[in-house]
Amino acid sequence: MKLASQMDNALFYDLSTHPYPEGSSSPSRMLLAAKQLGYAGICASSHQEFFRGQEKLPGGVFRGVEIMAANANELRKGIDRFRGRVAVLAVHGGDEAINRAACEDGRVDVLAHPQEGSKAGGINHIIARLAADHRVAIEFSLFPVIRNRGGSRVRALSAYRATFALVRKYAAPYVITSGAMSSYDLRDVRSAVAIARLFGMNESDALRGLSEHPAGILRRSSPGYVTEGVEVVEDTRSG
């Protein structure tokens, strides 16, 4: 089976979870559950008010932050402050000006839930093209699909469908995440694929959003990375 062979070789990452102190599972507990569900690693991307930055994270949990800003200027200050301290820098999206400002800044890794609170889905052709140019990944969170019922879920799914059509057209990067506030919000990789198919992704689109795009973000923030295709490799001869 095609899916089975793709799944055997790939490593899956969930780039948006909110462990304790924001949510109600510790980073280790979140990782324990994620590993049982087929993930190789997760990112602890708490909103900035819960960001501590000093605590030790278990191997397999990457440090992240989700910046909340009222305007583009504030967002830029937030990015200046956090970029050097995290592996994954996400922006709390929703406001159209914030969505756009995030996609104009190549230091941003993920634009989280751009549809939240926005009528038009939060992403238009201009923002999608900016995201593609600056390699800012658009997030598709499973959280509203699992958590909500009725109108709000319908709106989320339609926004995802419209956003994904633009993401595909302009070849912008994207990630599928759980947005988990506890280990009970995590779902296995195949369920994530099944949910992604509800809003217009096919199987390989969904697998790319769970594996290729998040892995690319983590590679960019690894210590030896210089630029696309250039990396400092440790010299093993002298040792």
Partner 1 sequence: MKILPSSLREKKRYLAFSVATEGGEAVDRKALLDEIYYATQSLLGDAGSSEIGYRLMDFDGRRGILRVSLGMVEPARAALATVYAIKGQRAVITVTGVSGTIRAATEKYIASEDIPSTNILSMQISSGIASGIAVREKGDEIDIVPDDKEALRRGNTRFLGLASSDIDDVNVVNVVNVINRQQE
Q: Which residues bind partner 1 (CB under 8 A)?
A: 18, 20-26, 28-32, 37, 55, 58, 142, 145-147, 149-150, 153, 181-188, 190-195, 197-198
- Measured distance CA(22)–CA(50) in Å, rounded: 6
Of 27, 17, 70, 26, the residue nearest 47 (C-alpha) = 17
- Nearest to partner 1 of 143, 170 (CB atom): 143
Dig out the tokens for 3 from the structure: 């899916």
- Nearest to partner 1 of 132, 192 (CB atom): 192
- Min separation Cβ 125 and partner 1, Å: 29
What secondary structure letter does DSSP report for 134? H
Could you tell me how many residues make up the chain?
239
- Min separation Cβ 222 and partner 1, Å: 24
Containing H/E element for 103?
A: helix 96-103
- Nearest to partner 1 of 101, 192 (CB atom): 192
- Min separation Cβ 191 and partner 1, Å: 4
- Nearest to partner 1 of 23, 41 (CB atom): 23
- Nearest to partner 1 of 56, 237 (CB atom): 56
CB 115 within 8 A of CB 163: yes
What secondary structure letter does DSSP report for 136? P
- Measured distance CA(117)–CA(164) in Å, rounded: 18
- Min separation Cβ 153 and partner 1, Å: 8
- Min separation Cβ 198 and partner 1, Å: 6
Of 6, 15, 5, the residue nearest 39 (C-alpha) = 15
- Min separation Cβ 159 and partner 1, Å: 16
What secondary structure letter does DSSP report for 180? B
- Nearest to partner 1 of 86, 180 (CB atom): 180
Q: Is 13 left (phi over 0), alpha (psi -120 to 50) or beta?
A: beta
Dig out the tokens for 128 from the structure: 């999608």
